[in-house]
Structure 1
Amino acid sequence: MKPKFLILFSILLLSVFFSQAQQKNYQNEAGFQTDNDSYLAQGSDRYYTNGLFLYFRHALQTDTGKAKLFGKTLGFEAGQKMFNPQSAFIPAARYVDRPFAGYLYLGSSLQYLFKNESVLKLGVQVGVTGPAALGRQAQELVHKLLGFYAPEGWQYQIRNNLGVNLAADYGHLLFRYNWFDLTGNTYANLGTTFTGAGAGLMLRFGEFNPLYHSISTSGLVAKNRLVKEVHRRELFFYLKPTLNYAAYDATVQGGLFDTHSDPAEITGKVLPFVFSQEIGGSLTAGRWVFNLAAIFRTREVKTMVLVHQWGTATFLYRFN
């Protein structure tokens, strides 16, 4: 996978440098994100092993004169996450060090972008875990298409549960000097699938725009036809260390109100504190938005025998 990943990154670089720079802005943005541990060419197929997400964002409001608010964005998304133990081939229950689970959801969010470069995002998701999330079918299809081994062990997966989850994210610029800046980020989740919180930093290096009009905050859509930008193109690298606190995770512990009466279901216990580090690069030019990153996380479940990492790629297109 590594050569393919490098070729893809090279194509994205060329598309940015040879595309026509435009100051015109767009009211809508649509695209997708794909996550997979195989993108890092580690030969792993474990834990958070695959994710696929579809996005649509629409600018509701932009510069309001002397008001503190710069813009407001309405977003919609649909996604699926797949989790399995240390391998997707588990011949016996004793090898399940992280439960098999799928999570399928629909979500919406409202984001406020302020002129002082603070950002507030409020969101809600409705989804399902268990067989209804189609994690088993999706993994079997991917493995078949790519010629991988047949997964084994999904009979132990988390049972069906409906989830409703609320989320709030807040970020604020702490420091900037020329080609470098530092942002503080916090988040909180409350729901029947995920409950927890976290805090971290984002360090950007390169050519980037203010947080109220940057790929870093999904703030590139704007109602006005023109927005004064520091850079017509964004091209930067970033580090994003985060300390996460997990109070509840249904993909590990099963449904919040589930009695776990099914003897085939194998659940686990979450570790309360997890450290993650995201290292990536972002590119924008004209209508196009790209992001490539690698995420490294400490163990999330007490029985996990290994730490984990995966790659992520995001492709977006802006339009009116």
Structure 2
Amino acid sequence: MKAHLWLGLALAAFGLSAAGNASATTCTASALLEQPPALNFRVDNDLFGGAQQDQGYTNGALLTLVSPNLRDYTDDPCLPRPARWVNQYLEHLYPGRFEQQNMIFSVGQGLFTPTDHTRSDLIGDDRPYAAVLLATFGFNARHRNHLRTTQLALGMVGPSAQGKQVQDGVHGLLGDEKFRGWGHQLKDEPVFKLLHERLQRWPAEGEAHGWGWDVISHGGGALGNLATYANGGGEIRFGWKLPDDFGSSPLRPAGENTAPTRRSRAEGWSGHLFMTADARWVLRDITLDGNTFRRSHRVDKRPLVGELGYGLAVMRGKWKFALARYHRSREFEGQRQTPVFGSFTVSRTL
């Protein structure tokens, strides 16, 4: 088995170990009651955006493990011993020691393709074929209605990310035509991205037992050969028994059931609508700019990119479901259509 596959399995085993230890007896009952560990699974696909949308960011899958609220990142028994050991060397990534904090671990894959799936030649005026495989460690720290989140993503872009194999397998099961141009995908390259965002939630005290609304602003950026950008935006929510967290958009780094909460989930059912907007000043995007140190297909990206999303989240008991749709402005010169894709997330507390 190739080394990168061994690494992926090791990271996955590490994350599952974290989930198991989080619910072990060494973790205090108060921490588990305040915020039990959670497991999130998200699927993105441009076919959710409508007919003839099998292009651009065409598919993504992400599995995320969320810790309970932690006393700290190096000594808390809610984290397994390997996680506490690793965190000793990641101290500079901590967003701060506030009244509440937690940690996330995720593994995911993203696929990017041009518009015309029938062509096997290099399509010079459309985006490159690309697949990205990532493992991400995240640290969240909360003080009242302010949150700081820091994430470190490590992974691989290129054939080793197994994009062609995954897409061919899915299209084979669905009886869809296969994309023929994967021979021109980006070459293998290790990638990283260090992300930091700060979020603020209004009003200061949301209503947990009836109808209510809130607004969450965010601002931050990322640095790395995978992506480098600065961004800002916000989210507005309205519904029944709003959760005490920092957003329902599955694409946000502290959204969708991953941020620390000050109260347990409301009893019975709850649900809300949300709308989110984000603007980015993009300096680098490897899926458009091509490989960093080797010649590869590339396009002229647009430095300013906007995104609008909207969706519905429903919760009952230990389960939460979220469905969202996103509209993004054109990302590179000559792009024929504005990207549209959907996202579906299933979350369960453990």
Alignment of 1:187-266 (within 5 A): 187-209=220-242, 211-212=244-245, 217-219=255-257, 227=263, 233-256=269-292, 258-260=293-295, 265-266=296-297
Q: Displacement, 1:161?
A: 0.8
Please name the residue that 2:331 is paired with. 300
Q: In 2, distance between residues paired with 1:219 and 1:293?
A: 15
Decide which of 169, 187, 197 is 1:141's aligned counterpart: 169
Instruction: Looking at secondary structure, tell me which structure has more strand per residue.
Output: 1
Q: Is the 8 A contact 2:133 2:161 kept in 1?
A: yes
* Unaligned runs of at least 5 residues, structure 2: 1-32, 72-96, 250-254
Q: Confirm or deny: 8 A CA contact 1:113 1:212 kept in the other structure.
A: no
Which of 46, 49, 71 in structure 2 is aligned with 1:37? 46
Q: Describe the shift of the 1:199–1:231 C-alpha distance in structure 2 as closer, same or farther (beyond 3 A).
A: farther
- In structure 1, C-alpha distance between the alignment counterparts of 2:279 and 2:259, rounded to whole Å: 30
CA distance in 2, matches of 1:71, 1:185: 18
> Structure 1 residue 169 and structure 2 residue 197: aligned?
yes
Whichever residue aligns with residue 277 of structure 2, its letter is P
The SS at the match of 1:113 is strand
Q: CA deviation at 1:253?
A: 1.2
Inter-partner Cα distance in structure 2 for 1:297 and 1:291: 19
Letter in 2 for 1:93: L
Write the deviation string for residues 234-274 of structure 1: whole angstroms up to 9, x where unpaired. 31101101111111011111222x131xxxx3211211001
- Take 2:217 and 2:272, find their aligned partners in 1: how far apart are those partners? 18
Match of 2:343 in 1: 312
Q: 1:99 deviation in Å?
A: 0.9
Query: Normalised by the size of structure 1, how large is the TM-score?
Result: 0.81
Scaled by the length of structure 2, what TM-score is found? 0.74
Kindly indicate whether residue 107 of structure 2 is the aligned counterpart of residue 71 of structure 1: no
Shift of 1:109: 0.2
Q: Could you say what secondary structure the match of 1:39 adopts?
A: helix
| d(CA) in 1 for partners of 2:264, 2:106 | 28
Aligned to 2:137: 108
Decide whether the 8 Å contact of 1:252 with 1:267 is kept in 2.
Answer: yes
Tell me how far apart the structure 2 counterparts of residues 89 and 246 of structure 1 sit (CA, whole Å). 30
Residues 82, 202 of structure 1: CA spacing in aligned structure 2 closer, same or farther, 3 A cutoff?
Answer: same
AA at the equivalent of 2:179: P
1:98 maps to 2:98: no
Pick aligned residue for 2:110 from 81, 99, 103: 81
Shift of 1:82: 0.2
Which string of whole-angstrom CA distances, capped at 9 and with x for unpartnered residues, describes residues 209-239 of structure 1?
364487564456879xx93667764311011
Counterpart residue number, 1:28: 37
Tell which deviates more after alignment, 117-126 or 205-214: 205-214
**Once the 2 structures are TM-superposed, how far is the Cα of residue 96 of structure 1 from its aligned partner?**
4.9
Partner of 2:309: 278
Per-residue CA shift, 1:53-80, capped at 9, x if unaligned? Answer: 1110101437xxxxx9442111000000
What are the residue-to-residue correspondences of 1:41-60 with 2, within 5 Å? 41-60=50-69
Unaligned segments of structure 1, at least 5 residues: 1-23, 63-67
Q: Is the 8 A contact 2:219 2:232 kept in 1?
A: yes
Distance 2:241 2:173 in 1: 38
2: CA distance between counterparts of 1:288 and 1:108?
Answer: 23
Q: Which moved more, 1:304-313 or 1:171-180?
A: 171-180
Distance change in 2, residues 1:228/1:304 (3 Å): closer
Select the structure with the greater relative contact order (CA < 8 A; seq sep ≥ 6). 1
User: Partners of 1:215 and 1:231 in 2: how far apart?
Assistant: 18
Once residues 106 and 66 of structure 2 are traced to their aligned partners in structure 1, the CA distance between those partners, rounded to angstroms, is: 9
Paired residue secondary structure (2:152): strand
Q: Secondary structure at the match of 1:45?
A: coil
Task: Indicate the SS of the match to 1:152.
Answer: coil
Query: Is the contact between residue 131 and residue 159 of structure 1 (CA under 8 Å) also seen in structure 2?
Result: yes
Q: Distance in 1 between matches of 2:43 and 2:242?
A: 25
Letter in 2 for 1:290: F
Residues 1:294 and 1:215: Cα distance change in structure 2 (over 3 Å)? closer
Q: How many residues align?
A: 284
For the pair 1:179 / 2:224, whether they are aligned, the reply is no
In structure 1, the partner of 2:300 is 269
Q: 1:288 aligns with which of 310, 316, 319?
A: 319
CA contact (8 A) 1:99 1:156 kept: yes
- Distance in structure 1 (CA, Å) of the matches to 2:130 and 2:147: 32
**2:180 paired with 1:152:** yes
Residue 193 of structure 2 contacts residue 225 of structure 2 at CA under 8 Å; is this kept in 1? yes
Quote the Cα distance in structure 2 between the aligned partners of 1:188 and 1:290: 28
Taking the aligned partners of 1:143 and 1:220, their CA distance within structure 2 comes to: 31
Corresponding letter in the other structure for 1:227 = R
